[in-house]
């Protein structure tokens, strides 16, 4: 299998992974009006997805370390796409909540495997860059999800938005089954089959654990803002649902893509000076989030607020490639799938499984402006965890796989 073919199939799957995930947020006001639900219930739609997502990931990681990974990728795409179609047919809040849960099952199966599967095909000096390019699917897919949900939802209703979002993933799932191949040789897979001691060692791997905790703080902020910023723009800047989804989608795709690309390229260039370059970029991201967010929330001008939010989004996406590359470098290849599964569990358990509902609850109590500002303050512990990850990382790059 050509490496370009592998990359583009995984990239397109990742793109629709985020489209199907994010389309929900642009139709929050439409769901609220149709189903008569509160902000807390809206936040729970985001949180239940992440709860299932993070709990299912370790199960997938265990079997993916032992079986052909391309089959898991294809099956996962089919599951999340069928669940998205089920959202379109939901007749009440409970059925929508259930369908949203199964999107978490499918997307956890894909995300757990895709990044290490791709990274293993590239040398270390190119990993942050290629994973950053792969990670461009996050801002682009998220933006398309906001645009998709906002425009289609306004003109044809929220059911049509889910219906049209679910179809492409079905086709890509079949393509993954037929074109992707796991190149691991049977003999090598048998020799490298991990045991429980290898998995337990992850819990003693300090660089890995602190990377996960830093990533969790970033995910908390990203999850909270992703869920509520379209509604924020609708409530405070006077935009309708389509305008809010379109403008926030453009901010995410332009600023997110810029941050993702710059973070990956910068980390790979700095890698020639230090194997801790990944942590420099992650620290820069956390430090850069706070001021633009504070100014943006307090700004009286809509244009000033949007510029500030754009700068904060650039910072949020800077660590996309560096975090994935740091996870690969800090763990042994035979436990890569489980390492990413553990990371997924931790970042969502402490991050966006709780941040949308907490922001929604804070909004009910103190208003959405205060809730958004409180969400960004999680950058402070993120900086601490990044410093600790760098401190425990050995200075010799060759030692980073020793754990």
Can you give the residue ranges of every domain in the chain? 3-401
pLDDT tens profile 384-399: 999 999 999 877 544 4
* Arithmetic mean of pLDDT, 371-382: 92
* Arithmetic mean of pLDDT, 156-166: 89
Copy the structure tokens of residue 175.
């393509």
Copy the structure tokens of residue 201.
């060692």
* Arithmetic mean of pLDDT, 217-240: 86
Mean pLDDT, the chain, whole residue set: 85
The whole-number pLDDT of residue 107 equals 92
* Arithmetic mean of pLDDT, 205-232: 91
The whole-number pLDDT of residue 78 equals 94
The whole-number pLDDT of residue 188 equals 47
Distance in angstroms (rounded) separating the CA atoms of residues 357 and 11: 29
The whole-number pLDDT of residue 7 equals 87
The whole-number pLDDT of residue 1 equals 56
Least confident of 128-132, 152-156, 296-300, 332-336: 332-336
* Arithmetic mean of pLDDT, 164-189: 76
The whole-number pLDDT of residue 76 equals 93
Copy the structure tokens of residue 350.
């402490």
Residues 6+ apart with CB under 8 A from 273: none
Q: Is the pLDDT of residue 212 over 90?
A: yes
Tell me if 257 sits within 8 A of 136, measured CB to CB: yes
The residue among 241 and 107 whose pLDDT is bigger is 107
pLDDT tens profile 62-105: 887 777 788 889 999 999 999 999 999 888 999 999 999 999 99
The whole-number pLDDT of residue 65 equals 76
The residue among 75 and 138 whose pLDDT is bigger is 75
Q: Is the pLDDT of residue 55 over 60?
A: yes
Q: How confident is the model at residue 184 (pLDDT cuts 50, 70, 90)?
A: low
Distance in angstroms (rounded) separating the CA atoms of residues 245 and 346: 29
pLDDT tens profile 329-364: 888 877 878 888 889 889 988 988 788 889 989 998
Q: Is the pLDDT of residue 214 over 90?
A: yes
Quick one: three-class SS letters along the chain? CCHHHHHHHHHHHHHHHHHHHHHHHHCHHHHHHHHCCCHHHHHHHHHHHHHHHHHHHHHHHHHHCCCCHHHHHHHHHHHHHHHHHHHHCCCCHHHHHHHHHHHHHHHHHHHHHHHHHHHCCCCHHHHHHHHHHHHCHHHHHHHHHHHHHHHHHHHHCHHHHHHHHHHHHHHHHHHHHHHCCCCCCHHHHHHCCCCHHHHHHHCCCHHHHHHHHHHHHHHHHHHHHHHHHHHHHHHHCCCCHHHHHHHHHHHHHHHHHHHHHHHHHHHHHHCCCCCCHHHHHHHHHHHHHHHHHHHHHHCCCHHHHHHHHHHHHHHHHCCHHHHHHHHHHCCCHHHHHHHHHHHHHHHHHCCCCCHHHHHHHHHHHHCHHHHHHHHHCCHHHHHHHHHHHHHHCCCCHHHHHCC
Q: How confident is the model at residue 147 (pLDDT cuts 50, 70, 90)?
A: confident
Tell me if 21 sits within 8 A of 148, measured CB to CB: no
Q: Is the pLDDT of residue 246 over 80?
A: no
Which CATH number is correct for 3-401, 3.90.1150.10, 1.10.10.10, 1.20.1250.20, 1.10.287.1770? 1.20.1250.20
Token pair 């660089």 in the structure block, residue: 207
* Arithmetic mean of pLDDT, 239-254: 80
Nearest 10 degrees: Cα torsion 140, 143, 145, 150: -160
Tell me if 122 sits within 8 A of 6, measured CB to CB: no
Model's pTM, two decimal places?
0.75
Residues 6+ apart with CB under 8 A from 115: 131, 134, 324, 327, 328, 340
Q: Is the pLDDT of residue 162 over 80?
A: yes
Q: Is the pLDDT of residue 142 over 50?
A: yes
CA 393 to chain centre: 24
Distance in angstroms (rounded) separating the CA atoms of residues 7 and 280: 27
Coil, strand or helix at 38 = coil
pLDDT tens profile 271-318: 888 778 889 999 999 999 989 988 988 887 888 989 999 999 999 999
Tell me if 133 sits within 8 A of 8, measured CB to CB: no
Rg (the chain; Cα; Å): 20
Distance in angstroms (rounded) separating the CA atoms of residues 232 and 293: 13
Least confident of 146-155, 191-200, 263-272: 191-200
CA 150 to chain centre: 20
The whole-number pLDDT of residue 59 equals 87
The whole-number pLDDT of residue 43 equals 78
The whole-number pLDDT of residue 192 equals 59
Distance in angstroms (rounded) separating the CA atoms of residues 261 and 263: 5
């Amino acid at each position: 299998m050509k490496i370009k073919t592998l990359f583009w199939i995984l990239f397109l799957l990742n793109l629709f992974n985020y489209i199907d995930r994010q389309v929900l947020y642009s139709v929050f006001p439409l769901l609220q009006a149709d189903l008569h639900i509160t902000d807390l219930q809206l936040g729970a739609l985001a949180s239940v997805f992440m709860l299932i997502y993070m709990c299912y990931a370790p199960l997938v990681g265990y079997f993916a370390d032992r079986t052909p990974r391309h089959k898991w990728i294809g099956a996962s795409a089919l599951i999340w796409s069928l669940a998205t179609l089920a959202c379109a047919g939901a007749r009440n809040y409970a059925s929508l909540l259930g369908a949203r849960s199964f999107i978490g099952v499918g997307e956890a199966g894909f995300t757990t495997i895709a990044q290490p599967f791709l990274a293993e095909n590239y040398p270390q000096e190119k990993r942050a860059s290629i994973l950053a390019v792969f990670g461009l699917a996050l801002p682009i897919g998220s933006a398309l999800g906001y645009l998709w949900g906002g425009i289609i939802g306004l003109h044809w209703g929220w059911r049509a938005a889910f219906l049209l979002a679910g179809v492409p993933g079905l086709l890509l799932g079949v393509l993954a089954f037929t074109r992707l191949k796991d190149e691991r040789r049977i003999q090598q897979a048998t020799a490298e089959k991990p045991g429980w001691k290898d998995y337990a060692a992850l819990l003693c791997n300090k660089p890995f654990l602190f990377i996960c905790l830093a990533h969790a703080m970033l995910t908390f902020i990203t999850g909270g803002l992703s869920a509520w910023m379209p509604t924020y723009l609708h409530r405070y800047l006077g935009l309708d649902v389509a305008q809010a989804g379109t403008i926030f989608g453009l901010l995410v795709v332009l600023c997110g893509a810029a941050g993702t690309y710059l973070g990956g390229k910068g980390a790979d260039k700095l890698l020639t000076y230090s194997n801790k370059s990944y942590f420099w970029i992650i620290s820069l991201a956390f430090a850069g989030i706070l001021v633009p967010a504070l100014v943006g929330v307090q700004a009286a001008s809509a244009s000033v607020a949007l510029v500030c939010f754009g700068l904060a989004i650039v910072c949020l996406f800077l660590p996309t490639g560096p975090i994935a590359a740091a996870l690969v470098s800090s763990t042994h290849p035979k436990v890569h799938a489980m390492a990413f599964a553990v990371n997924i569990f931790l970042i969502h358990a402490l991050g966006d499984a709780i941040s949308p509902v907490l922001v929604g609850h804070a909004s009910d109590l103190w208003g959405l402006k205060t809730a958004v500002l409180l969400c960004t303050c999680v950058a402070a512990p993120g900086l601490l965890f990044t410093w600790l990850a760098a401190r425990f990382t050995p200075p010799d790059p060759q030692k980073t796989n020793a754990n």
